[in-house]
Amino acid sequence: MKTKEIIRKIIKEHQKSEDPYLLKVVAILSFRPFNMKGQEIEEIIGLLVKAGLKINFAELNPKVEVPQNKKAADIKFTYKEETRAFDIKSYGGSGRFQISTLKSILPDIRSKFEKMKEKELNKNEKTWLINKVKEVPAEYILFFYFIREEKKIYVHIFDIERFDIAGFKDKKFILKKVGSEKRPEIYIPITKNSTLEISGGGNPYNRGMWINKIESNNDMKVLYETGFVEKVLLDSIILKKEFDSSEYIFKKAQSTIEIIKKYF
């Protein structure tokens, strides 16, 4: 089985269980700072994968790692003695999320477009970019995206395995020069407001492939319809009471202390 098939089955079977916790966890973590919620979701997904391998795939002693190391994949696990790995990306509230760093092809994109003036790309230039994106090595990435509307939180879980923008070939590809460094960015419209953006910038916030201005459930629906990413799960959950971030922090700290005490 592909990694994608394993993870999708684990998530869907978990949601059918007597006490599914994933949506509740993501709903609470949606209130966490950007640099915190990603790490916490990695831990929860690691736990979910470990339980899922045992329950759904008869792995009696599942081996799962959550390295939390920028040089390693976010989740590593063994299935039928084969090591698998995937990354997790958690966004929400900003209306923007990164699909890929495009690390392997960024120098080519910069070289191709940095000396061009702002314009709409012609057919040959679009074909070049489409084929260049296909060169990015395939990797399985699991995304979490949430949209909050008062007390209701919509949780979108989707994934991508291969990077292919050929489905947008009939749309306009607009080249812009952005920022003080005049970095080349190509904008491809997805919805009335949303765009797929390929940026040749130099720092993590302005390089790679991004989806921008996803602000509603309808925007997400249109994104799924393009086939560019695949929907794993979409659901909503309502908080019974106002979330207290301080209470969460200190209760989590207290639970951590109780675990540490057992080691001494």
| Burial class for 263, CB neighbours closer than 10 Å (0-12, 13-18, 19+) | exposed
- Give, rounded to a whole angstrom, the gap between the first and last alpha carbons of the chain: 42
Hey, what are 179's tokens? 């920022």
pLDDT at 192: 83
Q: Is the pLDDT of residue 92 over 80?
A: no
Lowest-pLDDT range, 25-34, 50-59, 127-136, 203-212? Answer: 25-34
Lowest-pLDDT range, 5-14, 36-45, 54-63? Answer: 36-45
Average pLDDT over residues 30-52: 89
| Residue 188 banded pLDDT, cuts 50, 70, 90 | very high
Average pLDDT over residues 124-142: 96
- 103, 165 in Cβ contact below 8 A? no
pLDDT at 69: 85
**Digit-coded pLDDT (tens) for 207-235:** 999 999 988 888 899 999 999 999 999 99
Q: Is the pLDDT of residue 34 over 90?
A: no
Q: In terms of Cα–Cα distance, which of 127, 97, 98, 101 is closest to 112? A: 127
Lowest-pLDDT range, 56-60, 137-141, 201-205? Answer: 201-205
Average pLDDT over residues 198-205: 88
- 190, 173 in Cβ contact below 8 A? no
Average pLDDT over residues 173-185: 93
- 78, 63 in Cβ contact below 8 A? yes
Average pLDDT over residues 192-217: 90
Which whole-number Å values give the CA distances from 58 to 5, 16, 53, 80, 94, in the listed order?
15, 18, 6, 10, 39
pLDDT at 44: 95
- 121, 175 in Cβ contact below 8 A? yes
pLDDT at 249: 93
Q: What are the extents of the domains in the chain?
A: 3-261
Q: Is the pLDDT of residue 37 over 80?
A: no
- pTM > 0.75: yes or no: yes
Count H helices and E strands in the chain, helices first: 7, 12
Average pLDDT over residues 99-122: 95
The stretches of the chain forming alpha helices (DSSP H) are: 3-16, 22-29, 34-57, 106-113, 123-134, 217-225, 245-261
Q: Produce one character per residue of 183-199: b if its CB has 16 or more CB atoms within 10 Å, e if not.
A: bbbbbbebbeebbbbbb
pLDDT at 204: 83
